[in-house]
Structure 1
């Protein structure tokens, strides 16, 4: 199963939807590891339009701040 490691020193917000306009549900600290369920192309963050849906909860993180390990499939239904 793919997972991600937070690369931003300030951490990354977990969002309700794949957009910075979306409600913040929580956050992940620098170097935190989290399971990734799937990805979508959405709001572009510093040249990266990919967002990951977390495996264990309905929350999104910007791929710009998360390095993935393993192949993350595209989401069928969001």
Structure 2
């Protein structure tokens, strides 16, 4: 199940002891996880992470990122399940897809990808 921005804000507030404030267009939390600006993701895999042409491990690799590498995460799409996580992120600098199972967005919400899906540079 994919969490929503509201659910993520609630969880973030719960764990940080923050205070929630409701608005007429949704919910916001102090220290909101949806903030402005680019979402930077960090590679958490124990070995080099393959960045793929499509959101599946069966797709050709377009790049490999070392653990700890950071890249801008543009959007998310549901794809092949990896370690219990079916979501894949489009990474800006590499121009490819990486499993969300191996990218830490540091609590930031990643928007859904528009259709048609992004493709390489």
- Which TM-score band applies after superposition, normalised by the shorter structure? over 0.9
- Structure 2 residue matching 1:44: 3-state secondary structure: strand
Q: CA RMSD in A?
A: 1.1
Greater Rg by CA: 2
1:16 is aligned to 2:48: no
CA-to-partner distance for each residue in 1:27-62, whole Å, 9 max, x for gaps? 110000010000001100010001000123430000
Q: Which residue of 2 aligns with 1:61?
A: 98
* Structure 1 gaps, min length 5: none
- Answer 1 or 2: higher relative contact order, Cα 8 Å, separation at least 6: 1
* Structure 2 gaps, min length 5: 1-37
Deviation at 1:76, TM superposition (A): 1.2
In the superposition, the TM-score normalised over structure 1's length comes to 0.93
Q: Which has the higher strand share?
A: 1
What is the aligned length?
Answer: 78
**Structure 1: distance between partners of 2:114 and 2:46:** 31
